[in-house]
A and B are shown apart, each in its own frame.
Chain A
Amino acid sequence: MHNDSRKIADEIILRSGVNPRRCMKCGKCSGTCPAYEEMEYHPHEFVYMVESGEVEPLLNSKSLYMCLSCFACVDRCPRGVEPAKLVEAVRNAYLRQQDNKHMNADDVPAKLDDDLPQQAIVSAFRKYRK
């Protein structure tokens, strides 16, 4: 493993406030995740890959933008691991690098319809950019 990956993983763990070692690998987080089928890496994989320092695949995965912040994994984890907080920390670690973003303002008009609430646009911007 690249030495930098371990350092990045430790930084992600620190910033998330999550202790991935509490995980007993039951898979309930991924079982209850509404975006499971759209994800390359699932909530339980975020937990064990960050724990083992395997963060590069996560940092470059579109799975980061599928987390809905529905807090189902946070509420239903029997060990209180709170996987969504780890997904958030990985997302931030990617987006805080220079020029990294997942959506531009110019992308928005094509996605609008007459009924789309403002709430959707501000939420997407909060999740897709720093």
Chain B
Amino acid sequence: MKVSYFPGCTLKNKAKILDVYARRCAEVLGVTLEEIDNWQCCGGVFTSKDEPGSKLSSVRALKFAFEKSQPLVSVCSACHNVLKQTNHLMQSDEAFCTKVNRYMAEDSAYDGSTQVYHYLELLRDVVGFDKIREAVVNPLKGRKIAPYYGCLLLRPSSVMQMDDPENPTIFEDLLRALGAEVVVSSMRNECCGGYVTMEKPEFAKKKSLDITSNMQAMGADMIATACPLCKYNLDKNSDAIPTVYFTELLAEALGVKEECDNA
């Protein structure tokens, strides 16, 4: 199966390895991530519907996938949040949709029909966790891993519709399919401090330590995330427990981590 893929700015730079593992693991599981042509940065954060100009890069990506009759997949939590919220506006807000289409003035209009998946949803809803369990060659036995969702995967839940926003299981179910022992922390859907880390690093440190210290106290050896900014904040502010990308754990379990690391 082929899907359209929006990597995003950070996966082409500071989080290259997140992209490399994601592509290779998808191949192992029978899915090809086809990077869309001429994608532009999503902007990192979804602001208001009052700013249609800031949503055009997302609409172009969504429309590109629509024209190829493919779902649009991203791995970065921020890209997924912006793409999904923008697509929701195109479906549900006629004034916004009209404004955007008139501005773009392309031959055909876009109406929000593209299916938008986060990579985790691709694994759950398209590949299936059972199939992943069968594909595991190096089960993560004895590894105590705390999944960390952060804010962007789950909220606003009425739009994102990935999982129960206060008691999600998708990340836990994936890690269990990989053979890990899952540590479920009540801090897994609280904010790490986000981009405010630039202006107020002490604030981000406090937010991140609240999360990492709770996960550590619950017995976790490591934290798994999908978001480069979460990884940055958690790693920078806690020496006691490492934070890794979930795709790294997936690559390890599927037996392709080394070839990705050497690529």
Contacts and interface: CB of A to CB of B under 8 A. Distances in A.
A23 B203 CA distance: 29
Interface stretch (B43-51, B105-113, B117-125): B43-51
Given A70-B155, A72-B151, A89 B48 contact: yes
Interface string B37-69: 000010111111111001000000000000000
Given A34-B207, A120-B44, 17 more contacts: A15-B48, A15-B50, A34-B193, A38-B200, A65-B199, A68-B191, A70-B151, A75-B165, A103-B199, A115-B235, A117-B13, A117-B229, A118-B14, A119-B8, A120-B195, A121-B198, A123-B195
- The bracket for how many chain B residues form the interface is 35 or more
B257 to A, nearest CB: 21
- The bracket for how many chain A residues form the interface is 35 or more
A66 B199 CA distance: 10
17 contacts: A16-B50, A69-B151, A85-B48, A88-B47, A92-B48, A92-B51, A115-B232, A117-B14, A119-B195, A119-B229, A120-B229, A122-B44, A123-B45, A124-B196, A126-B43, A126-B45, A126-B47
Q: Is the interface of B mostly helix, strand, loop or mixed?
A: loop
B47 A122 contact: no
B203 A35 contact: yes
Contact of B156 (A66, A71, A103, A116): A71
B54 to A, nearest CB: 7
Interface in B130-167: 151-152, 154-157, 165
Interface in A50-81: 65-66, 68-72, 74-75
Contact of B157 (A16, A17, A75): A75
B96 to A, nearest CB: 10
Contacts, number: 126
The interface centre, meaning the residue of A68, A85, A124 with most chain B CB atoms within 10 A of its CB, is A68
B193 A69 contact: no
A69 B45 contact: yes
Interface of A: 15-17, 34-35, 38, 65-66, 68-72, 74-75, 82, 85, 88-89, 92, 103, 108, 111, 115-124, 126-127
